[in-house]
Structures are given as structure tokens and as C-alpha cells.
Amino acid sequence: MIGTCELCQRDGIELTVHHLIPREEGGSHLPTAALCKSCHKQIHALYSNKELAIRLYTIALLKDDDSLKKYIKWIKKQPATKAVKIRKSKTK
């Protein structure tokens, strides 16, 4: 599906379904968000599913997280066609 990423707001990009509360934490039938592959991968590279379920379970909370703020500011400047490298968390 092509559309606008709910996190970085880039348009005309392939989207994936992100479970705001991960499936393994009981989020199978709970709200989801449409995220580009880069944002989706970055979220899971930085945070464990447990942390996502407890602390980062909405788009607003994700956008307000300090680590993701820096990433979002950077990724917004990247063209939707560019493949980007994902940085893993050192503390995850």
C-alpha cells in the first residue's frame, strides 16, 4: 500500500502495518499505524516490544520520544525512494 507515513509524514511511500502494542504483548486486535518501512524498522531497532507496549503505544508518544525525534527530523529530509540504513540501539 502506498500512502503517507504516520510518523515521518513522507508521502507516496510504501507503508507497513505497525501494531502500536506489539502482537506478542497482546496487541493483535488493538490499533495499528501505517508506517514506512524505514520508520517501522527504526522503531523496532531502538525499542523492545515490552517497552513499546508500556511506554510508546501511540503515534504521539513515539513522535515525542527523544531518540525518535532526531530520527524523524532526519528521515523527513530523505526522498521516499531512498533506501536508508537503520541504526540499532546500544541499550536494547
Domain of residue 38, residue span? 2-76
Q: Three-class SS string for 4-56?
A: CCCCCCCCCEEEEEEECCCHHHCCCCCCEEEEEHHHHHHHHHHCCHHHHHHHC
Is residue 73 over pLDDT 60? yes
- The answer to whether 31 and 6 are in contact (CB under 8 A) is no
**Does 84 reside within a domain?**
no
**Does 29 reside within a domain?**
yes
**Does 92 reside within a domain?**
no
Q: Using one digit for the tens of pLDDT, what is the confidence trace for 46-65?
A: 999 999 999 999 999 999 99
The total number of structural domains that make up the chain: 1
Is residue 75 over pLDDT 90? yes
**Does 68 reside within a domain?**
yes
Q: Using one digit for the tens of pLDDT, what is the confidence trace for 22-51?
A: 999 988 999 999 999 999 999 999 999 999
The sheet with strand 32-36 has its strands ordered as: 2-3, 13-19, 32-36
**Does 56 reside within a domain?**
yes
Mean pLDDT (whole number) for 10-19: 94
**Does 85 reside within a domain?**
no
**Does 16 reside within a domain?**
yes
